[in-house]
Amino acid sequence: MPRSATFFTLPEFLLLHLFLRVGIAAVAGFLVACDNHGKSISVDREILISEVKPRVDAIARTRDGGFVVTGFGVTAWAVGTDNHGTPVWQFIDPIDSTIDTGSQSVPQSEFHGAVSLANGNTLLCGGKYKGGQTNNLLVMLDRHGKMVEKRAEVPNDDARFIYSNFYQCFPWRDGILLLGNTNDGTHGYIWLVELDGNGVKRRQAFVDNLVAAGAVVGPSFVFTAWDSQDNVRVIRANEKGETIAKRVIAGEFIVQLRPMAESGQTSVIIYSSGRASLYTLDERLQDARPPREIANFDILAGCGYVLADASIALFGRRPNAAVAWISGKDKTFTMRPLDSKYVSLTVSDAVPISADQFVTVRGSVSQDPRDQGLVMSWVTIKESK
The sign of the torsion formed by the CA atoms of 250, 251, 252, 258 equals negative
Q: Residue 206 CB: number of other CB atoms within 10 A?
A: 15
Report yes or no on 244 lying in a domain: yes
pLDDT of residue 37: 62
Helix (H) or strand (E) holding 256: strand 253-259
Asked whether the predicted pLDDT for residue 27 surpasses 50, the reply is no
Kindly report, residue by residue over 136-153, the tens digit of the pLDDT. Answer: 999 999 999 999 999 999
Say which range, 77-86, 98-107, 303-312, has the weakest mean pLDDT: 98-107
Distance CA 15, CA 226 (A): 7
pLDDT of residue 5: 27
pLDDT of residue 309: 92
3-state SS, residue 156: helix
Kindly report, residue by residue over 151-185, the tens digit of the pLDDT. Answer: 999 998 898 898 999 999 999 999 999 999 999 88
Q: How confident is the model at residue 13 (pLDDT cuts 50, 70, 90)?
A: very low
Report yes or no on 2 lying in a domain: no
CATH code, domain with 281:
2.130.10.10
The domain tally of the chain equals 1
Report yes or no on 3 lying in a domain: no
Distance CA 88, CA 49 (A): 12
Report yes or no on 7 lying in a domain: no
Name the CA dihedral angle for 120, 47, 168, 78, rounded to a multiple of 10 degrees.
Answer: -60
Residues contacting residue 48 through CB under 8 Å, at least 6 positions apart: 23, 342, 364, 371, 373, 374, 375
Report yes or no on 323 lying in a domain: yes
Asked whether the predicted pLDDT for residue 23 surpasses 50, the reply is no
The percentage of the chain sitting over the pLDDT mark of 90, rounded to a whole number, equals: 66
Kindly report, residue by residue over 220-275, the tens digit of the pLDDT. Answer: 999 998 888 899 999 999 888 889 999 999 999 999 999 998 888 999 999 988 88
pLDDT of residue 134: 86
**Average pLDDT of the residues of the chain:** 85
Identify the domain containing residue 176 by its residue range.
Answer: 14-383
Strand-pairing partners, residue 34, are none
Distance CA 265, CA 369 (A): 45
Say which range, 48-57, 123-132, 297-306, has the weakest mean pLDDT: 297-306
Asked whether the predicted pLDDT for residue 18 surpasses 80, the reply is no
Report yes or no on 259 lying in a domain: yes
pLDDT of residue 36: 43
DSSP state for residue 193 in the 8-state scheme: E
Report yes or no on 6 lying in a domain: no
**Span 29-39, mean pLDDT?**
48
Report yes or no on 186 lying in a domain: yes
